[in-house]
């Protein structure tokens, strides 16, 4: 039976925990709004990019000598998985869900006899994957110092990935991230970026375009940008998801702390009452004994 003093200390400590989680929740809410705005602002660019690339690829795609970024290397032996997670914890199942999806993919790929290489973005995913895929991690990109992800960050990652592709280090690249649906739901998603996957929906461009300098050259310029855009979109979705996940995790924690305080307070009051009753009994029995 903890003493009254112990209970009091506990209540105080849970109260300060609640203050912290409450503050974190509010910070996450503010950051979430900013991330969502950033994701929204990036949407027009990504959409135009997709439309133009899709139209172009439809006309060039199947021809001989199509860029390798589109046609692939002709093999799918070596897979590069780019696992994007957050730099910070305390965001519920955000990181675990991405890592779980990546792990499942690694499992199936290995079972098929493929080679798997990992590139991790964000500290948390790396820590989790290091446990059983340590030798597969070929690189790690740290975004710890970055406050708001910018296109430059995405371009950096894309340059890294494309450099490895040109060096023949892998055949297929897939990015793993959480797609933001709402504050309470983020969907872990895997998206193939190399070779580029294009929607078959765009049967062909609706207008006939002139291309300067040439179709092939434009496409070759576009495809690496497309990869960077995909990664940028993923980073933004991830940032929004992270804040959303943190917000709901912290909301839960705050509520839980509240429940705990209620329970502890009841226990504290009961113990205090017991102490008072005890003292009374002692006084009364002492008086009776006289």
Partner 1 sequence: MADTIQFDLVSPECCLASVRADSVQIPGADGDMTVLAEHAPTITTLRPGVVRVEGPEGTMQFAVTGGFADVAGAATTLLAERAMPLSEVTAEVMADLIARAEARRDAAKGTAIDDAAKQVADLITLRERAVE
- How far apart CA 257 and CA 246 sit, in angstroms, is 16
Instruction: Give the total of residues touching partner 1 (CB under 8 A).
Output: 29
- How far apart CA 239 and CA 36 sit, in angstroms, is 9
Q: Could you say which of 61, 93, 150, 258 contacts partner 1 (CB under 8 A)?
A: 150
Q: Could you say which of 11, 46, 78, 141 contacts partner 1 (CB under 8 A)?
A: 46
Helices (H), 61-147: 68-71, 94-111, 123-133
Q: Could you say which of 23, 26, 146, 217 contacts partner 1 (CB under 8 A)?
A: 217
Cβ proximity to partner 1: between 217 and 284 the closer is: 217
Q: Which of 42, 91, 193, 234 is catalytic?
A: 91
- How far apart CA 180 and CA 249 sit, in angstroms, is 15
**Region near partner 1 per CB under 8 A, out of 25-33, 101-109, 189-197, 224-232:** 224-232
Q: Is residue 35 exposed (0-12), middle (13-18) or buried (19+ Cβ within 10 Å)?
A: buried
- How far apart CA 276 and CA 280 sit, in angstroms, is 6
Q: How far is CA 216 from CA 48, 65, 128, 210, 233, in A?
A: 19, 9, 42, 12, 25
Q: Is position 42 an interface residue for partner 1 (rule: CB under 8 A)?
A: yes
Q: How many CB atoms lie within 10 A of CB 192?
A: 13
Q: Could you say which of 1, 5, 44, 113 contacts partner 1 (CB under 8 A)?
A: 44
Cβ proximity to partner 1: between 18 and 31 the closer is: 31
Q: Is position 204 an interface residue for partner 1 (rule: CB under 8 A)?
A: no
Beta strands 137-141; 115-121: pairing state: parallel
Cβ proximity to partner 1: between 94 and 180 the closer is: 180
Residues linked to residue 82 through DSSP beta bridges, in sequence order: 119, 175
Mark 50-89 with x for binding to partner 1 (rule: CB under 8 A) and - for no binding. Answer: --x---x---------------------------------
Q: Is position 167 an interface residue for partner 1 (rule: CB under 8 A)?
A: no
91 in catalytic set: yes
Say how many Å lie between the first and final Cα of the chain, rounded. 32
Q: Is position 225 an interface residue for partner 1 (rule: CB under 8 A)?
A: yes
Q: If we measure between CA atoms, which residue out of 89, 96, 84, 121 comes closest to residue 24? A: 89
Cβ proximity to partner 1: between 14 and 193 the closer is: 193
Q: Could you say which of 74, 113, 144, 213 contacts partner 1 (CB under 8 A)?
A: 213
Q: Residues in the site for partner 1, rule: CB under 8 A? A: 38, 41-42, 44-46, 48-49, 52, 56, 150-151, 154-155, 207-213, 217-218, 221-222, 225, 228-229, 232
Q: Which residues are catalytic?
A: 91
């Amino acid at each position: 039976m903890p003493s009254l003093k112990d209970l009091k200390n506990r209540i105080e400590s849970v109260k300060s925990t609640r203050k912290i989680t409450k503050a974190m929740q509010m910070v996450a809410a503010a950051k979430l709004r900013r991330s969502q705005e950033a994701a929204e602002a990036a949407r027009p660019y990504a959409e135009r990019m997709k439309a133009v690339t899709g139209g172009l690829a439809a006309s060039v795609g199947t021809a001989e000598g199509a860029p390798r970024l589109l046609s692939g290397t002709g093999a799918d032996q070596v897979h590069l998985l780019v696992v994007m997670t957050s730099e910070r914890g305390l965001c519920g199942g955000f990181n675990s869900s991405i890592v779980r999806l990546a792990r499942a993919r690694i499992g199936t790929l290995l079972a098929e006899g493929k080679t798997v290489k990992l590139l991790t973005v964000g500290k948390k995913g790396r820590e989790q994957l290091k446990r059983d895929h340590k030798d597969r991690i070929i690189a790690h990109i740290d975004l710890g110092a970055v406050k708001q992800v910018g296109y430059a960050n995405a371009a950096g990652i894309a340059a890294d990935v494309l450099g490895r592709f040109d060096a023949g280090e892998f055949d297929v690249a897939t990015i793993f991230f959480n797609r933001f649906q709402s504050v309470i739901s983020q969907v872990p998603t895997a998206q193939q970026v190399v070779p580029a996957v294009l929607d078959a929906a765009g049967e062909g461009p609706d207008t006939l375009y002139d291309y300067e300098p040439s179709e092939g050259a434009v496409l070759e310029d576009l495809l690496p940008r497309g990869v960077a855009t995909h990664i940028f979109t993923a980073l933004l979705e991830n940032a929004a998801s992270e804040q959303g996940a943190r917000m709901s995790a912290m909301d839960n924690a705050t509520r839980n702390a509240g429940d705990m305080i209620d329970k502890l307070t009841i226990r504290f009051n009961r113990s205090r009452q017991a102490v008072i009753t005890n003292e009374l009994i002692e006084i009364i029995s002492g008086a009776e004994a006289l």
